[in-house]
Chain A
Amino acid sequence: MKKLSAIVLFLCLAAILFAAGTQEATSLPAAWEAQGTPLADVRIRQALRLAIDMETIVDELFEGMAQRAVAMTSPGSWLADGLDPYSYDPEKAKALLDEAGWPADYTLDVVYYYGDQQTVDLMAIIQQYWATVGVKSSFRKLEGDLAAQLWVPPADRKNGPSEVKWDLAYAAVAALSENEFYDRFESTASNNSSIPWQSGLDEKVQATRATADVEQQKVAFKALQKEINANMYNIPLYHQLSFIYTSDALDIAGSTLGNDQFSFEKNILDWRINRADGTLYTNGGPMEFYEAPTVNPGLYLYQELLFDKLVNADANLTPAEGMLAKNYSVSPDGMQITFELRDDVKWHDGRAFSAKDVVFTLEYLIKTPGLNAVALNTFKSLAGAKEYLDGKASSISGIKVNGNTVTLTFSTLDPNALLTFSQWPILPSHLLAGSNPVTLQQNSFWQKPVGTGPFKVSQTVLGNYAILERNAAYYRSGNGNVKKIFMHASGENDSNLVKNAESGRIDYAWSKSVADAQSIGAIDGMTVNPVNIRYTRVFWVNQYPHPANIK
C-alpha cells in the first residue's frame, strides 16, 4: 500500500510539473476533427496505452497476481507472436499526442461499473498516468441499466454518431471461447457500441468462425489480433487470474485444476477427503435459489455436479469425451453432430433419461432470455431454429431423434458447438415441460433441482448451507471417498470465504479476488493454486463521432 501511495504521489507531482511546462496553448491542426472525436485517431489511442505503466500496476496493485495484456487473448497457443506490447513510454505518448493534435482542454469521460476498491484504485492510478502526459480525464461509475448505457450500437455503423455517452469504458470480458473476445469487433455485432466499420475488419472476424478446424481458427484469430493491436481498436489492460483453494485434508487424486468459471472434468468421484464423515466443504451454496445454467452454466460447483452435459470438457475446457453421450461424432464440414446417448442414466428422482430430454433442453433454452451468447449462437445455428423462434414451426427441424441417437444439423457453421454441449447441461423435460422458458430462473424447480450428475441435492437451508450427496445410481462410481459436499451459502464473491477457510471449513473453493488469495495463502493447511482463465480487463474506446461529454 505504501508503494501504491508513492506511485500516486509521484504521478501527481509529474502531472503538476507537466502542466507547469505547457502553459502556452497549442494550436496544432486537429487531424481527427473531421472524424468527430479525437479517439478516432489511432495515435491518440496508442498514446493512451503507452502512458499507462501496466507492469508496475500489476506488480504493485495486484501484487503480481495478474498478467499484463497485449491482446484480449491470454498468452498461449491462441496468441499471435510479435504483437506490439505498447510498453510504458510517456515520452512517446506525448509525442504521439502532439503529432495528432490532442486538444489540451479535452477531458476524457471514462466510465466503469465495478465498485470494488481495487477498481477504484486502478482508475485513480490510470487517471494520474494520463495526467502526466497532459490528458485530463474524469471517471464515473455507472449505475442502473448498464446494457443501455454501454452497449447500444449506432444506427449507422460506419459514420455514427455514437449512441453511448462516454469516451472510454472500463470493462471485463469473461470468455468461454475466443470468439467471445472478438465477435464484438464486427461492425454488425449487437454489442459493438464503440468501434466503427473498418475496411477488412469484419472479414477477419468472420474468418475466425468460418472453420471447425482448431488450427485454422488459431491462424484467423492471430491475424485479427495483429489488426486490432496495430490499430488499438480497444485497449487491453490485464488478464485476471482465478485462484483455487484446496485444504490439506483433500487429495484431488492428481486431477488437473482449470477454469472454475466453467465445467471441466475434475474426477471428483476419485477425490479423497480426510474427514471421518466423508464431507468436503466448499462455498457457493444457494442464498435464495440454485442458479439456472443459462448465462453461467458452471460458475458454481453444484451446477457442475448436479447436471451432466452431453460431452465432457478437460481442464482446458476442450471437449474431450462423451458424458451423457456415450459417443459423438462431427461431420468433416462441421455441419452435423451425432450423439449416441447412454441408456443407463437416471434423473435423481429415478426417472430414465432419454433423447426426449435433449430435444426439450435445446428447444427450451433457445427461448430463455439471458442464455449465454456461446450457447445461443449454437442453438440458433441449428437448421430450422429461426422458423421455430418465429413461431412458424413447433420444433427445430435440425434436431432428429432415432432411438438413443440425436443428430443435430446446422444451417450455419458454429465452431463452438461442441464447446456448448460440454458446458450447457441437459434439463429434465418431465419436470420443466410446459413451464415458461422466459422465467426459467423463477421456476420452483430451482429450489431443489433434479439432474443426472454424480451428486444430488440432499438438504438445502437457503442462506445457510446446502448438502449434496453422492448419487449412488450414477453410471460411474470412482475410487474416492467424498460422500457429501457441504456448501456454505454465498454468492460468487464470498465475503466469508477467508473466515470459513480459517476455521477449517473449506476444502475446495475458488475466487478471482487477489485479497482472498493473499489471506488464504497465509492460512496453515490451505494451498492457493493460481489458474489462467479467459478473463481480460480492457478499455473500450468510443471511436464513433460524439461531442465532448465534459465541457
Chain B
Amino acid sequence: MVLVAIAAVTNTRGGRFMIPFIIRKVLVLIPMLFVISFLIFLGIELMPGDAVDFMIPPDALATISQADLDLLRAELGLDDPFLVRYGTWIAQVVKGDFGYSLQSGVSVRDLLAQKLPATIELSLAALVISTLLGSLLGVVSALNKGRLGDHVLTVAGMIGVAIPQFLFGLVMIVLVVFQMELLPVGGRMTPGNEAFFQRLDHLILPATVLGLSMTAGVMRYSRASMLDSLSKEFIRTARSKGIPEWRVNLIHGLRVAMTPVAVLIGFRLPILIGGSVVIEQVFQWPGVGQMFVAAVRSQNTPVIMMIAFFSVSIVLVASILVDIATALLDPRVKLS
C-alpha cells in the first residue's frame, strides 16, 4: 500500500491532483481525530470503576482502606473531573506525549514501541497470505464458474467465513503442534532465537490461521468482482480482437476486478491491528491486541487512548490509500 501511495504521488498522470488531494484529506483528519478521541475517552469514563479498582485483586480490596485507595487515585490523577482529565490528556498529545501506563508507569509510547512490531509482523504476514491466496482462489473460482472447483472453493470459503478464529487456532494447535509436533505452541520467540528468521517458526502458525481466516472474504470478493469484470463489454471487445484468452482474463479482466479487492484489503489494514486480538490470545503473541484487551480490562486509559488513536489514524490513512489505489488501478477513476 505504501508503495502504491508513493507510486501514485509520483505518477505523472495523477501527480497533479494527488498532493492537494492528500493535503485536503489530512486536514479533514485532524478534527475527526479530536472528536473520536473525545468519544473514546467518554466511553471509558462511562465504564464502571476506574484503574485503581483493578490494581488490587477483589479479594484483597476488603483489607485496603478507602483512604489508601483515594490516595492512589489522587496520585494517578484519577480524582480530577472528566473534562480536566481529557483536557490534560489532549494537551499532552498535542505535545507528542501520550502519557504513562497507569498500571506500570511505563510511557505509552515505549509500550507501543515494544508491542507494535509483533502485531505488524503478524498482521502483514496474514495480509500477504490472505491477499495472495484469496485473490488467486477467487480468480480461479470465477474462471471455473459452475464447475466442481468453483463449488469446492465456494463451500470452503463459506466455512472459512463461518469458523471462529479461536476454534480454528486451537484445532491447528492440536494438529500441527501436539499431533505433528512441527511448530511451537505459542509466543513470538525463544531465548537465543530472536532474529527474524530464527523465530519464523513461531510466526507460521498464527499468521497462517489469521491469514486463512481472512482469505475466505478476499476470495469471495475477488470471485464476484472477477465475474462482474468478465461480463463487461470491454472484455467482449478484447476477445473479438482475437487477444488470447489468458491475456483477456489476466490483463484486462483482472486489473479491473482487483479494484474492489484492493478497497477491501485497504480497509483490512486497521482491522489487522485490532483484529488479531483473538489470535494473539490463542498463540500467546505479545502484540498490541493483547495489550489492548488488558488495558480495557484494567481501565488503563492512556494505553487505551493511544491504541485507539493509533487504530483510528490507520483507518483514516487507509481510506486515503484506498482512494489512491483505486485511482491507479481503474483508469476511469479520477481523484479530482
Contacts and interface: CB of A to CB of B under 8 A. Distances in A.
Contacts of B164: none
Contacts of B63: 180, 191, 372-373
A267 interface: no
B189 interface: yes
Contacts of A467: 191
Contact of B185 (A113, A151, A369, A505): A505
Contacts of A147: 53, 61-62, 64, 66, 69
A162 to B, nearest CB: 16
A109 to B, nearest CB: 18
B31 interface: no
A198 B114 CA distance: 56
B336 interface: no
A372 B75 contact: no
A143 B68 contact: no
Contacts of A373: 63-64
Given A144-B48, A467-B191, A502-B178, A190 B106 contact: no
A151 B100 contact: no
Interface in A421-448: 436, 438-439, 441-444, 446-447
Interface string A485-520: 010110010011001101101000000000000000
Interface stretch (B224-232, B253-261, B286-294): B286-294
A495 B283 CA distance: 11
A249 interface: no
A44 interface: no
Nearest to A113: B58
B164 to A, nearest CB: 16
Nearest to B70: A369
Nearest to A112: B58
A495 B178 CA distance: 17
B76 A439 contact: yes
Contacts of B103: 288-289, 441-442
B152 interface: no
Instruction: Tell me which of B76, B190, B281 has the highest count of chain A C-beta atoms within 10 A of its own C-beta.
Output: B190
A152 B66 contact: yes
A441 B71 CA distance: 14
A329 interface: no
Contact of B72 (A113, A438, A444, A447): A438
Interface in B34-58: 47-50, 53, 55-58
Given A144-B49, A441-B104, A503-B177, A461 B59 contact: no
Nearest to A540: B62
Contacts of A144: 47-50, 53
Instruction: Tell me which of A184, A288, A444 has the highest count of chain B C-beta atoms within 10 A of its own C-beta.
Output: A288
A503 B190 CA distance: 14
B104 A289 contact: yes
B274 interface: no
A488 B284 CA distance: 9
17 contacts: A113-B58, A147-B61, A288-B291, A436-B75, A438-B72, A438-B75, A439-B72, A439-B105, A446-B105, A459-B191, A465-B187, A465-B191, A489-B286, A496-B186, A499-B173, A500-B185, A503-B178
Interface of A: 113-114, 143-148, 150-152, 171-174, 180, 184, 190-191, 287-289, 295-296, 369-370, 372-373, 436, 438-439, 441-444, 446-447, 459, 461-465, 467, 486, 488-489, 492, 495-496, 499-500, 502-503, 505
Given A144-B50, A461-B189, 9 more contacts: A151-B61, A295-B60, A441-B103, A442-B104, A442-B105, A444-B106, A446-B105, A496-B186, A502-B185
4 closest A-B pairs by CB: A442-B105, A144-B48, A144-B49, A463-B286
